[in-house]
Structure 1
Amino acid sequence: MIRFDDVTKTYMRGQHPAVENLDIEFTRGEFVFLVGASGSGKSTLMRMVLKEVAPTRGTVYVAGKDLSRIPSWKVPALRRDIGMVFQDFRLLPSKTAYQNIEFALAVIGTPRKVVRRLVPEMLEMVGLEDKGKRLPHELSGGEQQRVAIARAYVNRPSILLADEPTGNLDPATAGGILDLLAEINERGTTVVMATHDRTAVDRMHRRVVEMVGGLVVRDEERGTYATPAPVSVISGNLPDDSGHREDHPLEDAQDGTDTEDASAESSAAADDSRGDLSVADGTGSASSPDDVLEEDLIDEREALQVRDEDLLLEDAFAEEPVVSGPSLDETEEERR
């Protein structure tokens, strides 16, 4: 399903590689946790799967296809078979839960009859069948993440990438999100989840791949977050030598998530494999090269139109009345 053959990625000459000599395979139907300190290469690995950045050396295969041989105009089609879930949800704030999911179908020309069937199915699957008319700010964090997962899965992708999907959630809510991802995995979708969530990894007992300084140092079936393996940094068995991160720091000071530095972004933006897909991220500000929300959903003929979200959706959606919802601070019992 996903294979890396001797893959190295260096963003700038003279820097420590973000990923080095990577030889690993994720088979169809697997659930894999990627763990490691910030700057270990997890996000770069995911970006190469999305063909958002290209390896400096080596070959990446997705669904049997050599990504280096896929032209830029075919990248949107590739990404439609890869769902992506983020820590910060990245929902369109002016659209209801129903419309956020509908958007993923409308922009690829799905017939309205099919949309009307699939969206309610997705809302029911994620346990939000009665909240389709609520805006994101009217939903709790866990509910927003469920909408984001439904949007990522509505096209039934063969691969689902999740970058810290439980990072902003309390333990109980995070458990529900893990159960949802496990259900999607049981339906045949390969799930690769990058996380620092010790509880999540220990609870699931799935395959665990640990990265340190761009290298895979541990690959365990039914693993746990900590390990006695001497090569593990997150277990405290090996010093966290993060000096090379000055070359490409991945720690975001705002939220602690993995992001590439400015030099990596500029280098990636110049890569032909990205194509001309820079679009608005749905928050009213221009998206950075790291943002792939719209890139996952929009084919090339619509990439420019989506800069004006309201114009794109004017014909695609029939506006529905918004149901006033509770504040985020209310408990479920108070809402009832």
Structure 2
Amino acid sequence: MIRFDDVTKTYMRGQHPAVENLDIEFTRGEFVFLVGASGSGKSTLMRMVLKEVAPTRGTVYVAGKDLSRIPSWKVPALRRDIGMVFQDFRLLPSKTAYQNIEFALAVIGTPRKVVRRLVPEMLEMVGLEDKGKRLPHELSGGEQQRVAIARAYVNRPSILLADEPTGNLDPATAEGILDLLAEINERGTTVVMATHDRAAVDRMRRRVVEMVGGKVVRDEERGGYETPAPVSVISGNLPDDSTHREEHPLDDEELVADWDGAPESPAAERESSEEHAGPAGADRSVEVDGPDAAEAGTGPSAEDRPVAQDVLEEDLIDEREARRVRESEDFTGDFDQDQEELR
């Protein structure tokens, strides 16, 4: 259903990849938790599935289709088969719960007769059949999230992506949202949920994929939130500190070997093939034109382009780090120029 084939995503040249050498597959009908500290690459993974960003290297497949071969005018059709649920709900504030769900159908030209049938069905499924006429501000946080889920699922997508859907909710309400997502999964939809909700992961006991520094360090069936793996940040086994991670790289064979259940690192799996593929430093970057050029570092700087409203947490972290590096380089360049003029 979703497959990443040696995927690396670097937003700006010279900075650490948001996702690096990613090889993973989510099969049809799975329920998968993506866990990891902020900045670990979870949201970047989801944005690549939606084709909001393109990988710098590697290939992403969704429903058997190579996303790099899908032209921009076909992207809306692709996204009709992918539902997206956000932590901050992103409902239209001037529209009622009914109208928010209706809007998702109207934009794809669904006949009015079908809309009148589907929207009440969705409101009933999420337990809000009597609150369709209420505006978002008249609903509780849990009710707003239910509307957001109904809007994402009303087209019966084969894939549902959820980015921290329980992050702003109390435990009891979060449990209800999880039950709703589990029900959607039981109807055949693949659910991929990025979360920091320890209770949710431990309660559901589904597949758990943990990311650290853009790499998958754990892929466990029926897993829990914490793990004895020494490469886990969320379990407190590795400090949530980029400097420490640079000093102790994730593909260190001795570190991984300390944990019997740790998966072999992607770098180790490719070691023998890279010995025959040419110099390790060979440039495998991709030249990008158009909107993706800015993301790859070949287009305008971050200051010259507007910040999209749907930029997620990992991207903001990447942007701040890139800006710090760029400002440091600018200062060094100006200092060298002044010294040359004095001489």
- Give the alignment's TM-score, normalised by structure 2: 0.73
Q: In 1, distance between residues paired with 2:140 and 2:111?
A: 31
**Closer/same/farther in 2, CA of residues 97 and 46 from structure 1, 3 Å limit:** same
The aligned residue for residue 126 of structure 1 is: 126
Name the structure with the higher helix share.
2
- Which of these two proteins has the greater Rg computed from alpha carbons? 2
The aligned residue for residue 320 of structure 1 is: none
The aligned residue for residue 271 of structure 1 is: 292
1:290 and 2:310 correspond: yes
The aligned residue for residue 146 of structure 1 is: 146
Q: In 1, distance between residues paired with 2:307 and 2:118?
A: 28
1:71 and 2:71 correspond: yes
Q: In 2, distance between residues paired with 1:289 and 1:268?
A: 22
The aligned residue for residue 95 of structure 1 is: 95
Give the letter for the 2:66 counterpart. Answer: D
Q: Deviations over 1:212-270 (max 9, x none)?
A: 0000000000000001111111001122232499xxxxxxxxxxxxxxxxxxxxx9982
The aligned residue for residue 216 of structure 2 is: 216
Shift of 1:65: 0.1
The aligned residue for residue 104 of structure 2 is: 104
- Give the alignment's TM-score, normalised by structure 1: 0.74
Q: In 1, distance between residues paired with 2:217 and 2:78?
A: 29
Q: In 2, distance between residues paired with 1:273 and 1:184?
A: 37
Unaligned 5+ segments in structure 2 are 246-287, 296-305, 313-343
The aligned residue for residue 328 of structure 2 is: none
Q: In 2, distance between residues paired with 1:60 and 1:35?
A: 20
Q: In 1, distance between residues paired with 2:63 and 2:86?
A: 22
Give the letter for the 1:290 counterpart. Answer: D
% same residue? 92
**Closer/same/farther in 2, CA of residues 65 and 195 from structure 1, 3 Å limit:** same
Contact 1:162 1:191 in 2 (8 A): yes
Q: How does 1:101-250 map to 2 (within 5 A)?
A: 101-243=101-243
1:31 and 2:51 correspond: no
**Closer/same/farther in 2, CA of residues 273 and 123 from structure 1, 3 Å limit:** farther
Shift of 1:103: 0.3
Contact 1:53 1:273 in 2 (8 A): no
**Closer/same/farther in 2, CA of residues 269 and 85 from structure 1, 3 Å limit:** farther
RMSD of equivalent CA atoms: 2.2
SS of alignment partner, residue 271 of structure 1: helix
Contact 1:54 1:273 in 2 (8 A): no
Give the stretch that moved more between structures: 234-243 or 119-128: 234-243
Shift of 1:271: 1.3
Q: In 1, distance between residues paired with 2:290 and 2:22?
A: 23
Give the letter for the 2:129 counterpart. Answer: E
**Closer/same/farther in 2, CA of residues 133 and 268 from structure 1, 3 Å limit:** farther
SS of alignment partner, residue 12 of structure 2: coil
Give the letter for the 1:271 counterpart. Answer: D
Q: In 1, distance between residues paired with 2:117 and 2:201?
A: 34
Shift of 1:288: 1.5
